[in-house]
Chain A
Amino acid sequence: MASVKISNLKKEYGPVQVLHSLDLEVADGDFVVLLGPSGCGKSTLLRMIAGLEPITAGDVFFDDRRVNDIHAKDRNIAMVFQNYALYAHMSVRKNMAFSMRLKKIDKKIIDEKVEWAASILGLEPYLDRLPKELSGGQRQRVAMGRAIVRDPDVFLFDEPLSNLDAKLRVQMRTEIKDLHQRLKTTTVYVTHDQIEAMTMADEVVIMRDGVIEQAGSPMDIYDNPGNLFVAQFIGSPGMNIVECQVSEANGKLCATKGDLQLPLPSNANVINGQTIYYGIRPEHLQATRQASLAASDSNDKSITGVVRVVEPTGPEIHIYSKLDNQDVCSISRDRVLWAPGEDIHFIPDVEHVHLFDGDTKLAI
C-alpha cells in the first residue's frame, strides 16, 4: 500500500487546459472519491495517476517515489474501468490470472490467488466462463477480481458502477466498500454520482472545470459546503438556493427577494444591502398547512408557496413547490398528503441556513 500525493499537476490538450495546478494528498489506506460533473477532469486525473495519460506539468508521488516517468505497468496499481475492459477471449480465471502469468508467478500460487479472489467476490461458479457469458454485475466483479489478485499499492476505479442498473449499483457499492474495509488498500474512485461518493468515501474531492472546489469528509462537505457550486452539487434533492438582498425588517436583518422574507441565522456575518445566496437543504425546510405557525416560528411574514409536484419515496415525501417564482423542495417524513395547487407554508431551520456571498459565491 502507498499514499498518493499530487503536486501542482497540470494537463493540457493543445491550447485547452483540462487540469489547473491540482494539489491532493491521499493517505495510505484511505478511500478517496473524485466527484464532479462530466468533463470536470476527474477521469483525466485518475488516468494520470495510473500512468495512462502523459503529465503536462507537476508531479505524482506514490509514498516518496515520483512516478511521473514510470510506466503504468511498473506502478503496481490496479484499475477498474467503466466498461470493465475484460479480455473478451479469456475465461474469468485467465482474466484474473493474466497479470500474474505475465510475471511468471508459480501456477500453484496463481490458482490459489484466483480462488481466493473468486471466493471473496462470489465468482467461483463462473471461473471457466467467458466474459460474454456473464451479467453486468458479474463482469464488474471479474474486473475487481482482476484488480485485487494483484495486491496493488493503489486501487483506481473509473466510474465502475455507471453501467449497472440501480439495484445492482447499490449492491456493488456495498461490496466495494466492504472490500476496502477488508483489504485497506489506498483507493481513488471516480464518479459523478454524489450518492456513491457520500456513501463510500473517507474523503470526497469535488472538482469542477479542472479545479478542486473542496475536499473533506462526506458529512463535513454536506454540512459545510465551501461555495455555492459544492452546496448545489452535493445532496439529493439539491439545496434550495435563493438570490437575495440583506435588508432590515422590524429591527432585524433578513434576506429578502420581492415579497419574500427569509430569516437569517443569529451569527450571520452579513451587512445591510449585501447580495447573498440563501441556501437551505430540503430536510431543513419544514412544510406546514398552518400559516400562523409558520409566521410565529420564523418571522413576521409566513413563507408561502404553492405545491407543484409531490414525490413519495417511501421513507419520506419530496414536495416541490413554487415560491415567488422559484422552485423549492422540502422533505417531509410525516405522511401528510399534499395536493398540487395547494398552499404550503415553510418554516426554515435557521441554524442550518447556508449563506454565500453574491460576488465570490463563497460561504459566508
Chain B
Amino acid sequence: MKTQGSRLPRWLRSEHPFPWLFPVTSLLIVFGLYPVLYSLWLSFYKRNPATRKETFLPSHNWSKLISDDRVWDAVQVTFSYACIALILQLVLGMLIALLLDSDKKGFGILRALMTLPLVVPPAVTGMMFLLMYDSSFGVISNALYSLNLLSPDAPILGTGSTALWGVIIADVWQWTPFMVLIMLAGLRALPKEPFEAASIDGATAVQSFFHLTLPMMSKIIALAVLIRGIDLFRVYDYVKVMTDSGPGTATETLTAYAGTVYFKSANFAYASTVALATLILVLVTATLFIKIFKVRF
C-alpha cells in the first residue's frame, strides 16, 4: 500500500538537510546578510551631493567617520545611554524580582501585571512619555515643578542636561519588566537548601544575597545584560519620537545619527558606514563581554 508520504515530491521526502534549511536560510540571506553586504559595498562609495553620483573610493567614508566629531559624540551618548539604562534596569529588575519572588496570595497577579509595559510598542511609549514630560500639562513635569526639583524654564526633553535622562526613563519603564521576568525565572530556579545552610551558617538576608544569590545567578544576569545591552546599543525609537536627537545633538545616538544622515542628508553611503560602525561596536563589545564574563548559551 502506498503511504501518504510516498506521494510527496521527492525533494520533500529527502533526508538531506538542505531542502529543510532552504526557506529560513534564504530569508536570512535576503533580509540579513544581503543588507549588511550591500551596506558594506555602499560604504566604499563616495557620494557627490551635487551630482548625486557615487564613485568608488573605499577609504573615503571610513576616514570621514574617524574624523567626524559627531560620530564620537554619538558614541559617547550611545555608551552613556546603554550603560545608565542597563544599570537602572538591572538593579530595579533584581529588586522588583526579589520583592515578587513569593508564593503568597496575589503575587501571581502582580507578576502578570509586571509584563504589561512590554506589550506597548516602543514608539507609543515614547509618545506617552513625551506627553507626560510636556511642560504645560505633563504629569511628570508638573510633579517635578511642584516638588521644586525642576523649573518650567528648563523642560526635561528640551534641556541638554536632562533630555537623555528623560529618554532613558522611558526605556527603563518599558524594559525593566523584561529584566524582572528573567531575574524571577532565575530566582525561582535557585535551590532552597544552600540558603537554609547559609542561614544556619549565620548569614543575614543581605549576606545571603551577595554571597549566594548573586554568584548563583551570575550566568543568568550576564545573559540578561548581553541581550538588553545589544538592544540598548541600537536604540532608535525613543530618541526619534521623543527628542529627534535634540536638543542639538544631546541625545543623538549612533543609530539616530545614521538615520539622520540617511533620511535627512540622503547620504546613503555614509549612513551605511555609520550603521556598520554601530554593528562593529556592538559585536566587539558583546564579544568582549562574553569572553570576560564567560557567558554560556
Using a CB–CB cutoff of 8 Å, the interface residues on chain A facing chain B are 50-52, 71-75, 77-79, 81, 83-89, 98-99, 102-103, 146, 150
Contact = CB atoms under 8 A, between A and B. Distances in A.
B212 interface: yes
Contact of A73 (B191, B201, B216): B201
A99 B208 CA distance: 11
Contacts of A89: 215-216, 218
A103 B200 contact: no
Given A83-B193, A88-B194, A72 B216 contact: no
Given A87-B212, A88-B216, A72 B193 contact: no
Given A87-B212, A88-B216, A98-B211, A73 B199 contact: yes
Nearest to B218: A89
Given A98-B211, A102-B207, A85 B196 contact: yes
Given A81-B196, A85-B193, A73 B203 contact: yes
Given A51-B200, A83-B193, A102-B201, 17 more contacts: A50-B196, A52-B196, A72-B200, A73-B201, A73-B202, A73-B203, A78-B200, A79-B197, A81-B193, A81-B197, A83-B191, A84-B193, A85-B193, A88-B194, A89-B215, A102-B207, A146-B201
B198 interface: yes
B204 interface: yes
A84 B191 CA distance: 12
Nearest to B215: A89
A51 B215 CA distance: 25
A71 B199 CA distance: 8
A102 B212 CA distance: 13
Contacts, number: 61
Contact of B204 (A73, A83, A84, A146): A73
Contacts of A81: 193, 196-197
Interface residues of B, number: 18
A89 B215 CA distance: 7
A154 B71 CA distance: 66
Contacts of A86: 194, 197
Contacts of B198: 87, 98
Given A87-B212, A89-B216, A99 B202 contact: yes
A103 B207 CA distance: 11
Interface in B180-202: 191, 193-194, 196-202
Nearest to B204: A73
A113 B202 CA distance: 17
B201 A85 contact: no
A162 B115 CA distance: 42
> What secondary structure prevails in chain A residues at the interface with B?
loop
A50 B198 CA distance: 12
A144 to B, nearest CB: 12
Nearest to B194: A85
Contacts of B215: 89
A230 to B, nearest CB: 31
By CB atoms of chain B within 10 A, which of A50, A73, A84 has the most? A73
A103 B202 CA distance: 8
Given A89-B216, A98-B211, A102-B207, A50 B193 contact: no
B207 to A, nearest CB: 6
A98 B215 CA distance: 14
Contacts of A78: 200
29 contacts: A50-B196, A51-B199, A52-B196, A52-B199, A72-B200, A73-B199, A74-B202, A79-B196, A79-B200, A81-B197, A83-B191, A83-B193, A85-B191, A85-B196, A85-B197, A86-B194, A86-B197, A87-B198, A87-B211, A87-B212, A89-B216, A98-B198, A98-B203, A99-B201, A102-B201, A102-B207, A103-B202, A146-B197, A150-B201
A81 B216 CA distance: 19
A81 B195 CA distance: 12
A51 B200 CA distance: 8
A352 B215 CA distance: 59
Contact of B199 (A72, A83, A87, A88): A72
A77 B199 CA distance: 10
A85 B198 CA distance: 9
Nearest to B196: A52
Nearest to A150: B201
A326 B119 CA distance: 68
Nearest to A74: B202
A285 B201 CA distance: 51
Contact of B194 (A51, A77, A87, A102): A87
A52 B199 CA distance: 9
By CB atoms of chain B within 10 A, which of A50, A71, A98, A146 has the most? A98
Contacts of A99: 201-202
Contact of B201 (A51, A71, A88, A98): A98
A83 B194 CA distance: 10
Contacts of B194: 85-88
Contacts of B212: 87
B53 to A, nearest CB: 61
Contacts of A98: 198, 201, 203, 211
B205 to A, nearest CB: 10
B221 to A, nearest CB: 13
By CB atoms of chain A within 10 A, which of B194, B199, B201, B207 has the most? B201
B200 A77 contact: yes
B196 A102 contact: no
A79 B198 CA distance: 10
Contacts of A71: 199
Interface in B152-204: 191, 193-194, 196-204
Interface in B204-231: 204, 207, 211-212, 215-216, 218
